[in-house]
Structure 1
Amino acid sequence: MNGFEKRSALIKDKIMKTTMELLKTWEVKRLRIADIAKAASVSQVTIYNYFGSKEALIGESFKAFIEDSIREFEEEMQQKKSLKERMTYFIVKDKETYSSLPPALVKQLMIDDLVMYQYIQQQYDDRLVPLMVQMVEEGKAGGEISPKVSVEAVLLVIQMYIKSSGEMLDSVEKHEDKERFLEELFHIFFYGLCGQEAAE
């Protein structure tokens, strides 16, 4: 990559990161290219040259956001950590993601947009599933996951969680205390209704 290409890549990355920052407080329909250009300190022409439209810019920005999240996930899995430490990391990252972006926006981009949904699903199948399998197998080998729980069962629950995320986000959006409700949902997902397995 030559100097011009590096500068172009940096400008494009800055525009996308600025877009994601603005989407934390702006509704998609109200956010204008002019607003993004001003916040990113670039011209509107520059944005149109790189992305063509506001819709394309938002789509590329969200894909870059997903890519960064997956890369962090991959780096985390390379660390020698316990299952509890990894779970804590996942909970914190999920909370950060849903707390920083309005639930309605996440639903619009991840669920309602078919092309984006298919992209995320492909990333999940190709990159996240192998890592989740690795995590579960390491957890079972280390005695951190009950031998009663199979890898397939864990992955099925994760898939069910993803498929119902649209309805869940709708419920979160309507809840008075969004942060506490999200924390409850994450707790149920990772630890179950009882919090721990009852003694036999």
Structure 2
Amino acid sequence: MNGFERRKEKKIEQIYSASFQLFSKYGFQKVTVNEIAQQARVSPATIYNYFGTKEQLYADMLMNWMDKQLEQYEEILDSGLSFPEKSKEIMMLEAQNLKILSDEFLKFPSSEFSGLAQALESYSEQKVTGFFMKFVALGKHEGYIHRDQTEETAMMYFTMFKNELSRHWEASNQERLTCNVDQFMELFFFGLAGQAQK
């Protein structure tokens, strides 16, 4: 990567960071390209040259943020933690991220973002599903997911738990939720009956 490409990449990261902060704080409608440019320390023309429109910047920024979250999940999956610990870390992050998305980023006029829903779905199919297949394969290999379970069923099960965690992810409730996560994860792996009696 030459100097020009490095400078361009740095500017794009600054724009993503500034737009994430502003969009999450004030919402899409109230933030202008000029405000993003000022916070990112670039010119508005630079933003238009790289992204074309505020809508495209928003979509690209969201995909960039999702890529970074997925990188975190990959790092956890490749770490030395046990599979239940990995599952707990990933599920907690995913629940938190889902709350951020639903609260801050996915409340916009659909007429302005006709392609964003399809882009998110495509992202999920291409990247999230690939990660989850790896997650399930590791769980099966380590004996935490039954070998007869399909990836689709395991993903649906994981999603049900994650969605419920996300629903309870509120500032006033986080401490209590964090205390209950170990019980929650035991329920996730062993059901209401608990581990089989030996």
Task: State TM-score, norm by structure 1.
Answer: 0.71
- Give the Å deviation of 1:114: 4.8
Following TM superposition, by how much is the alpha carbon of 1:189 offset from its aligned partner in structure 2, in angstroms?
8.9
Alpha-carbon distance in structure 1 between the residues aligned to 2:101 and 2:145: 33
Equivalent residue number for residue 14 of structure 2: 14
- Asked if the contact 1:83–1:135 (Cα under 8 Å) also holds between the matched residues in 2, the reply is no
* Structure 2: stretches of 5+ with no match in the other structure: none
2:170 to 170, 178, 181: 178
| 1:1-200 alignment, distance < 5 Å | 1-98=1-98, 101=100, 103-108=102-107, 113-145=113-145, 149-158=149-158, 178-179=170-171, 180=173, 196-198=191-193
Deviations 1:118-155 (A, max 9, x none): 33333332333233233223323323235675433112
Report the CA distance shift for 1:85/1:161 in structure 2 as closer, same or farther (over 3 A): closer
Paired-residue identity, % = 21
**Is the 2:33–2:44 contact (alpha carbons within 8 Å) kept by the matching residues of 1?**
yes
Change over 3 Å in CA distance of 1:195–1:36 after alignment to 2 = farther
Displacement of 1:90 in angstroms is 1.2
Query: 1:106, 1:189 → 2: CA distance?
Result: 28
Return the TM-score normalized by structure 2.
0.72
Contact preservation (8 Å) 2:136, 2:145: yes
Provide the rounded CA distance (Å) in 1 between the counterparts of 2:49 and 2:151.
46
| Aligned-residue RMSD, C-alpha | 3.8
AA of the residue aligned to 2:192? E
Q: Contact 2:161–2:188 at 8 Å: present in 1 too?
A: no
Q: Which runs of 5+ in 1 are unaligned?
A: none
